[in-house]
A and B are shown apart, each in its own frame.
Chain A
Amino acid sequence: QVQLQESGPGLVKPSQTLSLTCSVSGGSIAGGGFFWSWIRQHPGKALEYIGHIYDIGSTYYNPSLKSRVTISVDTSQNQFSLKLRSVTAADTAVYYCARTRDYSNYINWIDPWGQGKPVTVSS
C-alpha cells in the first residue's frame, strides 16, 4: 500500500525557510483521483491544513499561510515538497505529508499520512 515519509531539517532558525520533502512509495503520485497534502500539528495538538498539490502541479494554499508557502511536485522522483518562508516560533510543529482522496467537490478524506516530521524554529 501507499506509504509516505517526510524528510528535512528538524531545526530551523527564525526568519529562514523551512523545507521538507515527502517521498511516496507503493504507488505513483501521478494518475489522478488524489491530491497531495501538507498538514501541521502544533504542540497544543490542533491540526492545521497547509495546502496541497495535484500531480499536474496545480496548488491550493491555506489563506493564512499563502504568502509564505510553496508546494511543488516532482513526479519523476515520486516526491512533493513544502517550503515555508520567514518562519517564527509559531511555526514550530509536527509537519505531516499525506494523500487526500479527491472523490468529489466536497467529499475527500486524508489517508494515509506520513509519520510526521517535528520541526522546531529556534536560534
Chain B
Amino acid sequence: DIQMTQSPSSLSASVGDRVTITCRASQSISTYLNWYQQKPGKAPKLLIYVASTLQSGVPSRFSGSGSGTDFTLTISGLQPEDFATYFCQQTYSTPLVTFGGGTKVDIK
C-alpha cells in the first residue's frame, strides 16, 4: 500500500495567517492527490483534486501544489470557518486509495 504522511499532525494559527500543510507519499504518485476538510462531527468535504484543481465553490484562499511524492495545501489568510482537520488522499493506486493521518488546524 502507498503510505501517506501528513505534517504537522496539528498546528495552531491565528485568523489571517498563511498556513501550509504537507503530505508526503511513500512512492511517486504523480499528481493523483486530493485534499479534504473535515469539521468536528461532520463528513469530509472535497477541497482540491488532482493536486491543484479547486473544487467548485471552494474559496480561492485554498490552493494545492506538488507532484511526485511531496504535496502542500496552503490556506492564504486563514478564516474562522477554516479551523478544521485536513486530509490528503492518493488515488494513484486506485482502486486501493489511501489517506493521510490528518492535520488539525486550531485557534492559537
Closest A residue by C-beta to B44: A113
A113 contacts B85, C-beta separation under 8 Å: no
Q: Which of A45, A46, A49, A113 contacts B97 (CB 8 A)?
A: A49
Note all chain A residues with C-beta closer than 8 A to B97.
49, 108
Chain B, interface residues (CB within 8 Å), range: 20 to 34
A109 contacts B34, C-beta separation under 8 Å: yes
Give residues 4-45 of B contacting A (CB, 8 Å): 30, 32, 34, 36, 42-45
CB distance from A69 to the nearest CB of B (A): 13
Q: Which of B30, B45, B94, B102 contacts A45 (CB 8 A)?
A: B102
Q: Which of A62, A107, A111, A112 contacts B91 (CB 8 A)?
A: A107
A63 contacts B85, C-beta separation under 8 Å: no
B99 contacts A46, C-beta separation under 8 Å: yes
A106 contacts B92, C-beta separation under 8 Å: yes
Give residues 13-47 of A contacting B (CB, 8 Å): 45-47
B43 contacts A45, C-beta separation under 8 Å: no
Beyond A62-B96, A96-B43, A109-B91, whether A46 also contacts B32 by CB under 8 A is no
- Secondary structure type dominating chain B contacts: loop
Note all chain A residues with C-beta closer than 8 A to B91.
106-109
CA A105 – CA B29 in complex, angstroms?
Answer: 13
Closest A residue by C-beta to B95: A60
Q: Which of A62, A105, A106, A110 contacts B89 (CB 8 A)?
A: A110
CA A52 – CA B94 in complex, angstroms?
Answer: 11
Beyond A45-B85, A46-B99, A47-B87, whether A108 also contacts B46 by CB under 8 A is no
Contact mask for chain A residues 84-119; partner B; CB cutoff 8 A; 1 contact, 0 none: 000000000000101000000111111111111000
Note all chain A residues with C-beta closer than 8 A to B95.
52, 60
Closest A residue by C-beta to B50: A107
A interface residue numbers (CB < 8 A to B): 45-49, 52, 60, 62-63, 96, 98, 105-116
| 14 further A-B pairs in the complex, CB-CB below 8 A; given A47-B99, A49-B98 | A45-B102, A47-B44, A105-B94, A106-B30, A106-B94, A107-B50, A108-B94, A108-B97, A109-B55, A110-B44, A110-B46, A111-B45, A111-B46, A114-B43
